[in-house]
Each structure stands twice: as structure tokens, then as C-alpha cells.
Chains A and B, each alone.
Chain A
Amino acid sequence: DVKVTQSSRYLVKRTGEKVFLECVQDMDHENMFWYRQDPGLGLRLIYFSYDVKMKEKGDIPEGYSVSREKKERFSLILESASTNQTSMYLCASSLGVWQPQHFGDGTRLSIL
């Protein structure tokens, strides 16, 4: 079974802090994704990566950046956290184009 592991289930940070969310997958998947999930809005794509050191903006990249130095790890960075970034963040990976995505359990991030 594919395992996508997010480093924290719950995280509380302060406004202005630099926040790192980590995601690791164990199935040698090419593609990795970061989404945020908010009630009534579903999942919205922040960034995705289709190879090491490659990244593309999703639908809501403002205020975020990403890093993929190794194939199995994809990090989401909040450069200067703001309260409107309080949300559930989900990481996913997939083997290739049009293949189903496998999700981690999510990180619930609160910015105070």
C-alpha cells in the first residue's frame, strides 16, 4: 500500500512565522501535490511537483512556496504565516499523469 506521511497532524503557529509542512511518500511516485481544504470550498490545489526540483503553481499559490529536493519529500512553506492560512493541509502523490492520487491524513494548521 502507498503510504503518504505528513509530519504533523496538528500545528499551532503565530502570525509572521515561517512555517514548514513536510510530506513523505514511500512509493517512488513522480508527482506530489499540496492542497488546502476549507469547509464549503472543497480541496484547492496550492502547488504540485512532477519531478525533483520541478514545481508548478496550482490555483491558490499566493503566500506559499514549495521545495522538492528529493523524490520522496515535498515541503510546503508559508513564508510569513497569516491568520487566513488557518486550514487543513493535505499532501498527495501519484505514480504518473492521470493516475489516482494517494493522500496523507492531513495537517490541521492554526495561525494565531
Chain B
Amino acid sequence: AQSVTQPDIHITVSEGASLELRCNYSYGATPYLFWYVQSPGQGLQLLLKYFSGDTLVQGIKGFEAEFKRSQSSFNLRKPSVHWSDAAEYFCAVAPSTGGGNKLTFGTGTQLKVEL
């Protein structure tokens, strides 16, 4: 079974600074990978996804993520953070063979942005 680790529970950055949120997965093959964002009181919104091909994936709101097979990682990055990016971020994986559409989520990283 697949699993996801987000090692940082909380991260604080200054507005305008760069951001990297870490995600490591465990799965026998290359999984399908996702990043979601949850603003306070809201459901989750898809930021970006990786299925295959180019390992650098562009998403919405200026976010990107890089799949590194050798490190089993899918870290989320943004060059310059805005105050509105304060939210909780979830990495998720789905099996690429069998298992259907069953996503496994990490425990989330809470991002705080200092003005």
C-alpha cells in the first residue's frame, strides 16, 4: 500500500520569500501525485498533478512541483509567496496500477505568511 509523508507540520515564511513544501511517498512503482490546498473553512482545491512525462509540473497560483524518482519526492515550490497563500497544503498519491482512484493523503503542512 502507498503512503505519504509531509515532514513539516508548520512552516512560516515572509511575504515575497520563496517556499518549498516537502512530500515523500512510498510506493512500489511511480505513483500518480497531487498537491491540494485548503483555505480556512473551505474544501480542498487541486494545485497540480503529475502522471508521467516532464518531472517539473506547473500548477495554478504560480506553484510548481518536481518529481524526483530517486528521492521518492514531490516537493511543492513557489518563487515568491503572497499573503493569500496562507493555507494548509496536502500532498496525495494514487496507485498507477490497480487500486482505482483511491488517494492517500499526507497529514498536511500549515503555511503561515508573515507580512
Contacts and interface: CB of A to CB of B under 8 A. Distances in A.
Interface string A26-62: 0000010100000011111100101000000010000
* Contact residues of B: prevailing secondary structure: loop
Interface residues of A, number: 26
Interface in B29-50: 32, 34, 36, 41-46, 49
B107 A101 contact: no
A4 B102 CA distance: 18
Contact of B49 (A41, A90, A100): A100
Interface string B67-98: 00000000000000000000000100010100
A24 B33 CA distance: 26
Contact residue range for chain B? Answer: 20 to 34
13 contacts: A42-B108, A43-B105, A48-B101, A50-B100, A50-B101, A92-B43, A97-B101, A98-B96, A101-B44, A101-B101, A103-B36, A105-B42, A106-B41
